[in-house]
Amino acid sequence: MRTFLGMPGAPAAPASRLRGDQPFPAAAARTLRDTQLRRNLGNATATIREKRRTVVAEVPDWEELRLAGSAIKADVLARLPELLTTFESAATARGATVHWAADAAEACRIVTELVRETGADEVVKVKSMATQEIRLNEALAEAGVRAVETDLAELIVQLGRDEGSHILVPAIHRNRREIRDIFLREMPDVDPALTDEPAALAEAARRHLRSTFLRARVAISGANFAVAETGTLSVVESEGNGRMCLTLPETLITVVGIEKLVPTWQDLEVFLQLLPRSSTGERMNPYTSMWTGVTPGDGPQRVHVVLLDNGRTGVLADPEGRAALHCIRCSACLNVCPVYERVGGHAYGSVYPGPIGAVLSPQLTGITGGGDPNASLPFASSLCGACFDACPVRIDIPSMLVHLRSRATDARRRSGRPPSAEAAGLGALAWILRDPRRLALAQRLSRAGRLLARWQSRRGDPRPRIRRLPGPGAAWTRGRDLPAPPAQTFREWWARSAPDDGSRSAPDDGSRSAPDDRSTP
């Protein structure tokens, strides 16, 4: 089969679950009002952070492992066409059938046709992030096929008719009581006396899924890694459901993003140390499953692999943004992000939430301007850098966010939409700062703010502060105070205080020319 990636590829199909219905600020304002959600998120992310900190501290060469992971991923992207054809040849030689999907629609069509060929009307699923990205469950439902999620958190989300809000723990926004209520309402065979104890909830899910595993003829999986030299696929998980899905059915269909490749079997050594510690805070995954093609008499006898682009080659075409494809979906950046911890995953509108979603989703879909909700995602960050420090493959998310903010601003300008209040304000500030006279005038006019600060300050405040700005400035002071302007500017102070020995700087009005800094002393 001849392989053509078509770089740079088209953006992800509109049908993909990569773009929300509204911009991040509007969605975040809604989720911020959910106090239960914020408590759930705070408790869960704090627990995962502490577990991760403990197990990472045990590894003396952690930074060297991070550098190795980053280098391997960079090598993959530099040689992606070559490695993809190597993987296809190796997998095909071992009895697998490899399919190429340019976008979500093509991937759904391929998988649906493969399931129809088996005559099955039900499939079991594991590692579902890529299939959620392409909305495969909805496509299968339209074809009369019921998809059953088998990861516990994914099952909770599916039974609750909800959407995941975390890469690792999709039901992180639910607490134990809510999960018990979902099980009582949606599981026909559940014990009516079910409690909200974790062990009882896990046992209820196990009993519910057991018969499904045993009757399943078709399984659909994702993959954490795909080894180019051997055609091997790998799934790492903590519950054992993956092992059931990957061994019992007659047919196994794996949908895997083309960026999930690693060049050699030996490269897995690095990632199997980085991933569990960064994701679940474990030293190793309880279940690590690997399969290569078909083994007669053992496991699925029909194995298909769907290599998914869906905008990835478009990301690859951007030298400043392509490192987002290094992501190994560990969720470490979500667990340390102060923004994610407060608003949750639903505010991002994509299957990929948090810091990595803020840089990956806009690139997969393309930033179109004209009110594109994804154009707001790069601004959903304080740029604190915690995500880079936590990332096991050293993705420089803060720098990428700045790059994408510039792209979003350019897209808005090209679309002909009027500038935002923020952009207009920054433009006015740039105009003032370009001229010393305008700056001196603005500094003098700012003293009017001292009257506002004196009026709004509380009795006993050691220093007057502006607590409420009028107009668009109200958004700034809603979460912080603004110090009152000083009684005099630095230039005024210097003019009065500096000795009159020729060392005084240019006067306030900027009329004196600055010295030529190219001259020699």
pTM for the complete prediction? Answer: 0.85
- Write out the two tokens for 109: 């069509």
Rounded Cα distance between 264 and 68, Å, is 14
Q: Which residue in 323, 344, 333, 256 sits closest to 20, CA to CA?
A: 344
How far is residue 461's CA from residue 176's CA, in Å, rounded to a whole number?
45
Q: Report phi then psi at 233, rounded to 5.
A: -115, 150
Beta-bridge partners for 302: 251
- Report the pLDDT value the prediction gives residue 7, as an integer from 0 to 100: 47
Distance of CA 441 to the CA centre of its chain: 45
Kindly give the confidence (pLDDT) of every residue in the chain, 521 residues in length, as a single tens digit, with 9 standing for 90 and above: 344 554 456 677 666 899 999 999 999 999 999 888 888 899 989 999 999 999 999 999 999 999 999 999 999 999 999 999 999 999 999 999 999 999 999 999 999 999 999 999 999 999 989 999 999 999 999 999 999 999 999 999 999 999 999 998 899 889 999 999 999 999 988 999 999 999 999 999 999 999 999 999 999 999 999 999 999 999 999 999 999 999 999 999 999 999 999 999 999 999 999 999 999 999 998 999 999 999 999 999 999 999 999 999 999 999 999 999 999 999 999 999 999 999 999 999 999 999 999 999 999 999 876 678 999 999 999 999 999 999 999 999 999 999 999 988 888 777 777 777 777 888 888 999 999 899 988 888 888 888 777 777 766 666 777 878 877 778 777 778 788 888 888 888 888 887 666 555 555 454 444 444 433 33
Residue 255 belongs to what H/E stretch?
A: strand 251-257
- The CA-atom distances, in angstroms, between 412 and each of 358, 369, 415 are 17, 5, 5
Cα–Cα separations (whole angstroms), residue 389 to 338, 355, 384: 14, 12, 10
Q: Which residues contact 165 (CB under 8 A, 6 or more apart)?
A: 171, 172, 173, 344, 345, 346, 353
Separation CA 134–CA 115 (nearest Å): 16
Strand partners, 236: 288
Contacting residues for 242 by C-beta, under 8 A, at least 6 apart: 126, 127, 150, 221, 235, 287, 289
Token pair in block for residue 170: 């999709």
Residues 6+ apart with CB under 8 A from 435: 510
Burial of 504 (0-12, 13-18, 19+ CB in 10 A): middle
DSSP 10: P
**Contact call for residues 252 and 219 (beta carbons, < 8 A):** yes
Rounded Cα distance, 447 and 488, in Å = 8
Q: HEC string of 200-217?
A: HHHHHHHHHHHHHHHHCC
Helix (H) or strand (E) holding 147, with range, is strand 146-149
Residue 50, φ and ψ in degrees, nearest 5: -70, -40
